[in-house]
Structure 1
Amino acid sequence: MIWEIDDSARAVEGLDGRGRPMPEYAATLGLRRAPFGRRVLSTSIELGILLVLQLPVLLVTLPALLSATASPDAAAALADTGRLGLVIACGAASAALTTAFVVVQLVLHGRKGVTVGKAATGIRSVNVRTLERPGFWRGAVLRYLVLYGSFLVPLVGPVLVIACSPLFDPERRGRGWADLAGATWFVDARDGLNPYDVKRMRIARKTAATDLADERSELRSLATSATPPGTGAYIPVTRSSGGVVGAPRTDAYAATAEVSGTDAAPPASVSAPAPSPAAVAPAGAAPAAIAPTAPYSGPGIPWTPPRLLPDASPAPAPALAGPPDAPATPARQSSPADPATPGVVLEFDNGARIALAGSGILIGRDPAAGPGDAGLALVPLDDPSKSISKTHLALLRTDGSIIAIDRASTNGSAVIRDGVEHALPPGQGIAVRSGDTLLLGERRARVRIG
């Protein structure tokens, strides 16, 4: 007995409010309707195999029975010719082979969504609601009972059920009455997404969910409430759709420096509600934050400021804040035309090269700029594996540093330095340097500066 797991209680993606499957969701994943011509070819292959299995009956059993019927005593006529044993053996062999073939077809269809003909023509069968295996009893047995039952009405039944009923499918998926009874749908695994490729199907589902979230997400305004100084009100100082860098407002800090377009943190000597900034981490130390915590402007993801990675070989780090007794210096936005600005190039594993233009770039399959992304160049990146999100990573040039910020990507981002991989949480920036490797999903890019 083949046991089935009832998965009706779990949440199913791609259903409308009434629990009906949405064709547009399947199209977003990359699933395509199986062509009618290949479906006919698949059925023809399977009927041809059944015909071959009937050859012992057609060549031996049937002629012997026809010749025996001409005699008054059919059994005596077969026994006299000495062919009775051969007739019975050929009939039994044909029946056994046909039964075994039909059972194997049903099991393969129910468990793997494939039969001999469908495997040869690149077609797969799925449950139309879950887009997974059809199931043995309903998806295979019930469907084939409807098909074979149509032959009870010669000629009219097969033509109506097999040939005409798919034309009345309101969803235009080519699903006939047998498919409606079995809740099955035939898809093209040759030119479209193979629904039984677990890895690609998982990535497609995550990508579809991420694209929907990207379309609905909006950046919050930078406007702050009119809170008197000294109460810890948040002051935004630098903003992009990858996050917001800011500082808490205090009387002592306001008297020390005027925050204007810089990601410098308050002096360490000034007491503030937010954590005090840490100095540049020495070699081998744990990653250190370089700005106090501030809210992230994306959908439900906490923002934490950029951090410095441990460096195995000591190198001078860019100054991120002035001395405690000096006013903070406003950030200077560099441009490619500035001779003091080093060139930044990303060298991808497929040979593509992307240069950092202006104040920064947005990288993804189809990056979209938000209200806070003014001046950022959009860089679309071809990714057949679809491991890169629609808007995956922001690379910003801020006060002499190059900051990488993950944009809530589905498959995540990371920085590899000196052979150690450092995860890049959504909304948190990491200062990168020449020689680092950026991971964007399954893609790698080498950072070249200078």
Structure 2
Amino acid sequence: MVRRGALYCPTCGTPAPRRHAAGPVPGVPTHERPGREGHRREGMVGTVVNLELANASTGKRAGAKLVDLGIAWLLQLVPFALGAASLLSLSGSRYPTSADQQALLAATVWYVVGGVLGLALWVFCWAWEAKTGKTPGQAMLGLRTSSLEGFAPGWGAVFVRNLVFGLICLIPFVGIVLALVSNAFDPNSKRQGWHDKAARTFVFDVRAGRDPLTTGGINGPASFAPRPELPAVQEVASPMPVRSPVPVTSAAPVTSAASVTSAAPVTSAPSSVPRADRQHSAALQPDAAVHPDTEVGQTRFSRAVGERSGGADEVVLSFSDGRRVALRGPVLVGRNPAGYEEETVQELLAVDDPGKSVSKTHLAVWSDGSRVWVQDRRSTNGTRIVRGDGGSSPAPAGQPVEVDAGDVVHFGDYFFSVGRSRA
């Protein structure tokens, strides 16, 4: 008797033997959904990627800075100690002896060596942090310095950051402590120290979250993911016969009845070109006779913004706060945007920015029918455009910059992406 639910042969009714699932094949990764506890089972191959950003804590930042300072002190300890020992060997007599002169020379040499080593270490750390966001202490504790867009901070930002940090340390008694813990006083909850605000940088914990320098910046995977490759449009021979274009004549001017009756009918001579040749020549008309929006395989904007033909794509701006705005006319973006005198705009898009990283009228966005333009309205913190291929460049103040679908526009602490959707 076959038990309910068992496998059996449909011909003879013999129960089928049980077969276990095939085991893992060596060299081939296996994937399995995690259990209720979220742990992986034995034999699983794969990694969990955290797409969230994590600002570095005050303790880790202070620890990384102390490691950097400790390395500098240790590097200079030996030559400075030898220089001090040379000075202690002086006889102290009123008239220095030859031994005293040699001791002074040795002390000078050791102090110069210590200074050169310290300068070389500082230049190395400056270049390393400017290009990769790392210092020895940050690399040890898993921290990264980045620009406001999440990319390498650059030479200038790192120089300003270290300069302001050093100036804070000059405050008597509490300077070094304030420099190390100033990020704990950030009202924007981004853990920016005073030197970070001056240099416009962030510090992230790449062990608690992702590394923005290698994952497309602050915007994350959406800004560095490759665009989907669309199949190329191929020419296909139409099964329908090609029809000759019908010439469109302009309306005749109003004339009197006498002139109409006196006009002789005009007849054209029969063409000697065969019908097939006429059809072929009609298919080879100049491209100017065809409307650009009717070409196969191309989607273009109509020349008049807002007067789009059915099925055309429209530009959509997707903001970091969740809003989506269809671009059918000029849009001004800012904390309290306002246009110039006699300026016509579609919408004044206000951004709720308690930190005031966005200017009152920060930027303008518009389309001329076929292209999309962004113009920085001479904002305080500027505007940066991250291209779909990962490239980044600032938008010059007052100059229109063309953007395309897939680009991301950063303004202050906010951003929006440019996309297209079927109208």
**Fold equivalence (TM over 0.5):** no
Q: Taking structure 1 as the reference length, what is the TM-score of the superposition?
A: 0.37
Larger radius of gyration: 2
